[in-house]
């Protein structure tokens, strides 16, 4: 080893020694141990191009050092940026004897190849002699969306404060090393873009001072192949006091945005573009000036076009007093199909209401034919137990990716904060990981992702990986069952969205912000009639889905109460009455949560004490919360059904009055990330 390498290696060992002492989760799935073998690494890239760009050179250097430090087998590795190799961030890995060749048309592709090789090694799948692997990502845009506010708080964040912004001024320099680690972690799973601020965007984001700070983040992330994007407030020109209106057709407004975009690109040449939440939940938008989504999005798109920037325009819109919120995005956007510029992408949440534990696929994914569309998933568990419940979200996201090709891109609302383990809970890291892996390859199965994540994050020991893979794979369905099975949705407590409050309906609150709007429980039954006789939401789907959803006997049980209002004693295709089935589904959820807790309790011997104990507290709490959810929902719905629990269902542990007096999460638990709990 030369001097530089020896120093670097010694530093690495010291860092690892520290890290080994305390398994605080900070290293995520990148827990590889270093390798003293001086494996031979060759950079076979010919000529100067494309390595005449400083960031490209840095990217390649990162790839080389990752391989140098972490590949343990005695092989020699050749990396090469070559125009004939896989393009679009793709790479090939070829093994001939003890030589491994990583090739890509870009240096970031080589970096992805390097991380892929390390992942294969860590999961016991090092390429065999004579084999070739070629990977090209499913989605060109693989983006995190941070809902970080400029004062450092994070909307729906359960892992501490923002790593980018703070009230106390510029924390970016202070956090430079952390932001670089963030870049590395994202690059290791193929994420190539990040929106740095909340969709409920402050106009202040576009001041010169904040653009300067954004530039710094962009510089730190560029070598990892990550572009930065910003959420913008549509009223910025007016709100910042520069123009008297924000009307997208006003020449002064158009000029303002052109100048602002130029200012950004002068500072950040590889800037990605804008994300916009307009005319939604009180945010300003073109409709405030009698204009349309198309007028607004295209005006911004035209300003960004000369620089190659894009607009991600969100389709999450709904107005008060609509008879069915699930119809609204479709009604507002379908008439515009084909009218958006080619650098506009409509960003659509996976379901038509709002990141519920389960929703049918948003109808816009089936119907938009001439508009670019990218799904928006929520990695942070706003509606799935925050950073307290361990719920692996890949199976939920697969419900969309199994029917929709993400050819334009995909966004995930991040669960990252300055909590030492990044996500508030060690298990929640799996959702960040799964998002990146699915964005890279939407055909991966949930099982493959869980398996490789567990092996890298905890141990490759089968006695741990096998039972915990099962727990992870069952965890989403369990959460649906103990919170809101059979198509029930949005019965959360108002505001924090952690615990159940199906009864929440204070006077003066918009109907569509209260659970009774969604569950419609009454003496005759429960569920939202979205059939052709009801809100006709079923007709927004193509055939045969529309007819299947419309028919109470054919509608999948998991969507039953989403599409139908069903009588309490009505017999379902499974043979049970609605009431009995509902009781059994809640019980299934509780039993599963208890079994996860019991399985985890047996895992102590396989992993470190620190993470074991923290998660043990969480799994225990999840099981208790599952009981709380089940009792609250069943006892409340029982006031309408007036029916007893079926004989094989255990009696409630709580009484309804008590459950209604306390608010799960607010009075009982603090919403602080677990590693900050007393």
Q: Which amino acids are annotated catalytic?
A: 281, 354, 382
d(CA 374, CA 344): 10
- Which residue lies nearer to ligand BDP by CB, 353 or 659? 353
How distant, in Å, are the alpha carbons of 492, 496, 518 from that of 489? 8, 15, 6
In the complex with ligand BDP, the residue whose CB is nearer, 348 or 572, is 348
Does residue number 354 form part of the binding site for ligand BDP (CB under 6 A)?
yes
Please, what is the minimum distance in Å from the beta carbon of residue 378 to ligand BDP? 7
CA end-to-end span of the chain, whole Å?
Answer: 47
DSSP 459: -
156 or 293: CB nearest ligand BDP: 156
Looking at beta carbons, which residue is closest to ligand BDP?
354
Q: How many residues bind ligand BDP (CB under 6 A)?
A: 10
The nearer residue to ligand BDP, 277 or 581, going by C-beta atoms, is 277
Nearer to ligand BDP, 355 or 518 (CB): 355
For β-strands 91-96 and 99-104, DSSP reports them as antiparallel
Taking the C-alpha atoms of residue 518 and residue 537, their distance in angstroms, rounded to an integer, is 14
Taking Cα atoms as reference points, which of 414, 338, 347, 379 lies closest to residue 154?
414
Smallest gap from Cβ 147 to ligand BDP, in A, equals: 7
Q: Are 280 and 327 in contact (CB under 8 A)?
A: no
- Tell me the C-alpha distance between 192 and 438, whole Å: 13
Cβ distance to ligand BDP smaller for residue 307 or 513: 513
| Shorter beta-carbon distance to ligand BDP: residue 109 or 502 | 502
CA dist., res. 374 & res. 273, Å (int): 15
* Shortest distance, position 493 Cβ to ligand BDP, whole Å: 12
Q: Residue 156 interacts with ligand BDP (CB under 6 A)?
A: yes
316: contact with ligand BDP by CB under 6 A: yes
- Residue number with CB closer to ligand BDP (137 or 375): 375
Residues 380-409 that bind ligand BDP (CB under 6 A): 382
What's the closest the beta carbon of residue 335 comes to ligand BDP, in angstroms?
22
The residues facing 413 across adjacent strands are 145, 378
User: Smallest distance, Å, CB 361 to ligand BDP?
Assistant: 17
Q: Does 277 bind ligand BDP (CB under 6 A)?
A: yes
Least distance (Å) between residue 156 CB and ligand BDP: 5
Among 94, 121, 200, 459, binds ligand BDP (CB under 6 A): 200
313 counts as binding ligand BDP under rule CB under 6 A: no
Q: Which of 355, 432, 518, 541 binds ligand BDP (CB under 6 A)?
A: 355
- Give me the phi and psi of 31, to 5 degrees please: -100, 20
DSSP annotation of 403: T
As a whole number of angstroms, the distance between CA 414 and CA 423 comes to 9
The Cβ of residue 63 has, within 10 Å, a number of other Cβ atoms equal to 29
Cβ nearer to ligand BDP, comparing 55 with 155: 155
State whether residue 61 is helix, strand or coil.
helix
Q: Which residues of 430-440 are buried (b: 16+ CB within 10 A; e: fewer)?
A: bbbbbbbbbbb
Closest of 60, 44, 55, 61 to residue 8, by C-alpha? 61
CB of 200 to ligand BDP, least distance (A): 5
Nearer to ligand BDP (CB atom), residue 337 or residue 354: 354
Q: Which residues contact 370 (CB under 8 A, 6 or more apart)?
A: 337, 338
Residue 379 Cα to chain centre, angstroms: 3
b/e per residue 624-660 (b: at least 16 CB within 10 A): bbbbbbbbbbbbbbbebbebebeeebeebeeebeebe
Q: Give the nearest distance from C-beta 326 to ligand BDP in angstroms.
A: 14
CB atoms closer than 10 angstroms to residue 66: 20
Out of 24, 155, 295, 610, the residue judged to bind ligand BDP by CB under 6 A: 155
Smallest distance from ligand BDP to CB 413, Å: 7
Q: Is 374 helix (H, G, I), strand (E, B) or coil?
A: strand
| 216 binds ligand BDP per the rule CB under 6 A | no
Instruction: Tell me how far, at minimum, the Cβ of 199 lies from ligand BDP, in Å.
Output: 5
Of 520, 519, 195, which Cα lies nearest the Cα of 376?
A: 195
Decide: is 154 part of the binding site for ligand BDP (CB under 6 A): no
Residue (of 421, 502, 462) closest to 181 by Cα position: 421
Alpha helices in 229-345 (DSSP H): 236-239, 251-267, 293-304, 328-333
Q: Give contact residues for ligand BDP (rule: CB under 6 A).
A: 155-156, 199-200, 277, 281, 316, 354-355, 382
């Amino acid at each position: 080893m030369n001097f530089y390498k020896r120093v670097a290696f010694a530093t690495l060992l010291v860092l690892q020694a520290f890290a080994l002492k305390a398994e605080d989760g900070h290293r995520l799935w990148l827990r590889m141990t270093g390798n003293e073998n001086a494996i031979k690494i060759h950079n076979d890239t010919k000529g100067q191009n494309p390595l005449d760009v400083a960031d490209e050179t840095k990217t390649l250097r990162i790839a080389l050092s990752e391989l140098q430090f972490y590949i343990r087998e005695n092989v020699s590795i050749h990396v090469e940026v070559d125009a004939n190799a896989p393009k679009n961030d793709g790479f090939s890995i070829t093994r001939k004897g003890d030589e491994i060749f990583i090739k890509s048309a870009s240096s970031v592709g080589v970096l992805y190849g390097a991380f892929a090789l390390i992942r294969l090694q860590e999961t016991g799948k090092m390429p065999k002699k004579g084999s070739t692997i070629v990977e090209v990502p499913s989605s060109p845009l693989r983006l995190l969306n941070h809902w970080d506010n400029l004062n450092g708080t994070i909307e729906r964040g359960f892992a501490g404060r923002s790593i980018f912004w703070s009230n106390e001024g510029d924390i970016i320099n202070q956090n430079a090393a952390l932001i670089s680690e963030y870049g590395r972690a994202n690059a290791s799973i193929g994420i190539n873009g990040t929106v740095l601020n909340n969709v409920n965007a402050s106009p202040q984001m576009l001041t010169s001072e904040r653009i300067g700070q954004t530039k710094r983040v962009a510089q730190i992330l560029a070598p990892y192949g990550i572009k930065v994007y910003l959420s913008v407030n549509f009223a910025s020109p007016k709100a910042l006091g520069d123009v008297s209106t924000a009307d997208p057709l006003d020449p002064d407004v158009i000029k303002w945005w052109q100048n602002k975009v130029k200012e950004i690109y002068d500072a950040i040449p590889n800037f990605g573009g804008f994300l916009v939440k307009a005319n939604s939940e009180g945010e300003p938008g073109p409709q405030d000036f009698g204009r349309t989504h198309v007028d607004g999005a295209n005006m911004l798109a035209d300003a960004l076009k000369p620089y190659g920037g894009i607009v991600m325009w969100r389709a999450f819109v709904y107005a008060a007093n609509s008879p069915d919120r699930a119809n609204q995005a479709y009604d507002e956007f379908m008439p515009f199909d084909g009218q958006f510029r080619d650098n506009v992408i409509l960003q659509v949440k996976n379901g038509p209401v709002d990141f519920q534990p389960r929703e049918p696929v948003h109808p816009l994914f089936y119907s938009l034919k001439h508009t670019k569309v990218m799904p928006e998933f929520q990695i942070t568990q706003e509606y799935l137990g925050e950073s307290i419940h361990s719920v692996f979200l890949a199976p939920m996201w697969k419900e969309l990716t199994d029917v929709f090709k993400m050819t334009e891109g995909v966004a995930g609302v991040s669960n990252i904060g300055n909590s030492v383990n990044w996500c508030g809970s060690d298990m929640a890291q799996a959702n960040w990981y799964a998002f990146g892996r699915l964005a890279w390859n939407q055909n991966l199965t949930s099982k493959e992702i869980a398996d490789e994540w567990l092996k890298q994050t905890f141990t490759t020991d089968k006695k741990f990986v096998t039972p915990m893979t099962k727990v992870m794979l069952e965890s989403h369905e369990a959460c649906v069952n103990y919170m809101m099975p059979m198509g029930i949705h949005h019965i959360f407590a108002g505001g924090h969205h952690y615990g159940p409050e199906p009864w929440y309906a204070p006077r003066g609150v918009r109907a569509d912000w209260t659970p009774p709007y969604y569950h419609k429980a009454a003496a005759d039954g429960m569920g939202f009639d979205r059939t052709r006789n009801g809100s006709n939401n079923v007709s927004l789907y193509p055939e045969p889905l529309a007819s299947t959803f419309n028919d109470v006997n054919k509608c999948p049980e998991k969507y039953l109460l989403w599409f139908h209002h069903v009588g309490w004693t009505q017999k379902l295709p499974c043979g049970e009455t609605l009431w009995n089935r509902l009781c059994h589904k809640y019980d299934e959820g509780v039993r599963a949560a208890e079994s996860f807790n019991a399985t985890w309790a047996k895992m102590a011997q396989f992993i470190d004490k620190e993470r074991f104990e923290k998660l043990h507290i969480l799994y225990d709490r999840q099981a208790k919360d599952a009981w709380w959810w089940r009792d609250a929902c069943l006892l409340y719905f029982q006031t309408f059904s007036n029916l007893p629990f079926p004989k094989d269902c255990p009696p409630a542990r709580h009484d309804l009055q008590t459950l209604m007096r306390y608010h799960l999460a607010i009075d009982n638990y603090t919403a602080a990330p677990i590693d900050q709990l007393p």
